[in-house]
């Protein structure tokens, strides 16, 4: 199983689409947070500049514009890979070598990881860029450990979103046997469910998809539990949908 998983991971990460997803994450995050970066830059003369890089990077991944594009960014690397394997008849030769269960486990796991890793790498690059804009000169080690702790918690929430929505893309593609639906359906589902919750269940924050990624009204443990439950749920749904599709091979 580790060898099959490693092959899938290499296939997902070492391709141009993963690089596109990382680059698009950086661009969208910087554009969506550009106003906050400008404001922080203007206040850098009166505030402690050592903390501004973290605050700027955190703002870039918590803006509405970035959250709206998150379901698009995370499906770029690998969400359509199972449909591609079906349509190219790759599975007819690969399944006897890899084994059905090992292939399914590896495919679902790497589909999730590809979306989460793309967002994580992109946001870490944004943090490096913000550190270059606001260099933490003369900062003692550990001085802003608590602030960095909150930043990486926020990053974890974004990664959870990437894991979940990349799997939703895989589910959409496998269920409809259309690779383009793997790209489009996560954004459509995110937009429809978010609009429905805001319109009819405005105060039911536990059902807000944005709250799971950027908790403002929910407690952080509740948001983490919701995110983890969403990832686990779509993980098993994708697994069983692919298993049904393999009967057609």
Please provide the DSSP assignment of 162-206 as one string: HHHHHHHHHHHHHHHT-HHHHHHHHHHHHHHHHHHHHHH-TT-GG
The string of DSSP letters for the chain reads: -HHHHHHHHHHHHSSHHHHHHHHHHHHHHHHHTHHHHHHHHHTTTTS-HHHHHHHHHHHHTTSHHHHHHHHHHTTTTTTTHHHHHHHTTTHHHHHHHH-HHHHHHHHHHHHHHHHHHHHHHHHHHHHHHHHHHS--TTPPTTTTHHHHHHHHHHHHHHHHHHHHHHHHHHHHHHHHT-HHHHHHHHHHHHHHHHHHHHHH-TT-GGG-HHHHHS-SSS-HHHHHHHHHHHHHHHHHHHHHHHHHHHTT-
pLDDT at residue 4 tops 80: yes
pLDDT score recorded for residue 167:
96
pLDDT in tens, 5-57: 888 999 999 999 999 999 999 999 999 988 877 777 776 554 555 678 888 88
58-109 pLDDT per residue, tens: 888 988 889 999 999 999 999 999 999 888 888 888 888 888 889 999 999 9
Distance between CA atoms of residues 100 and 121, nearest Å:
31
Quick one: what percent of the chain has pLDDT higher than 70? 92
- What's the pLDDT tens digit per position in 161-190? 999 999 999 999 999 989 899 999 999 999
pTM above 0.85, yes or no: yes
């Amino acid at each position: 199983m580790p060898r099959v998983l490693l092959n899938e991971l290499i296939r997902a990460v070492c391709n141009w689409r993963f690089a596109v997803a990382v680059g698009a994450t950086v661009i969208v995050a910087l554009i969506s947070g550009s106003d906050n970066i400008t404001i922080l830059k203007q206040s850098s003369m009166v505030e402690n500049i050592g903390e501004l890089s973290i605050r700027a990077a955190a703002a870039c991944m918590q803006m509405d514009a970035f959250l709206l594009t998150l379901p698009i960014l995370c499906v770029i690397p690998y969400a359509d890979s199972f449909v591609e394997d079906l349509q190219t008849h790759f599975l007819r030769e690969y399944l006897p070598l890899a084994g059905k269960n090992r292939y399914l486990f590896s495919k679902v796991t790497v589909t999730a990881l590809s979306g989460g890793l793309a967002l994580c790498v992109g946001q870490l690059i944004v943090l490096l860029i913000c550190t270059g804009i606001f260099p933490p000169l003369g900062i003692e080690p550990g001085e802003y450990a608590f602030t960095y702790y909150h930043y990486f918690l926020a990053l974890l929430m974004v990664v959870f979103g990437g894991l979940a929505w990349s799997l939703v893309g895989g589910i959409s593609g496998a269920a409809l046997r259309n690779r383009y639906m793997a790209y489009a359906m996560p954004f459509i589902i995110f937009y429809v469910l978010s609009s429905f919750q805001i319109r009819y269940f405005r105060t039911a924050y536990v059902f807000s998809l944005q709250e799971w990624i950027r908790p403002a009204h929910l407690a952080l443990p509740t948001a983490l539990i919701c995110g983890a439950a969403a990832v686990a749920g779509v993980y098993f749904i994708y697994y069983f949908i692919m298993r049904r599709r393999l009967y057609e091979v």
